[in-house]
Amino acid sequence: MEQMPFELTEKAAEQVKSIQAKENKAGWCLKIGVVGGGCSGLSYKLDFTETPTEGEKAYDCKGVRLTLDPKSLLFVKGTILDFSDGLNGQGFVFNNPNAKTSCGCGSSFSA
- Asked if residue 104 is part of any domain, the answer here is yes
- Asked if residue 87 is part of any domain, the answer here is yes
Q: What is the pTM of this model?
A: 0.82
pLDDT digits (tens, 9 = 90+) for 21-39: 999 999 999 999 998 876 6
Under 8 Å between Cβ of 77 and 33: no
Domain with residue 46: its CATH number is 2.60.300.12
CA dist., res. 67 & res. 22, Å (int): 20
- Residue 11 CB: number of other CB atoms within 10 A? 15
Distance set, CA 43 to CA 9, 22, 38, 108 (Å): 20, 25, 6, 4
Residue 8 has pLDDT above 90, yes or no: yes
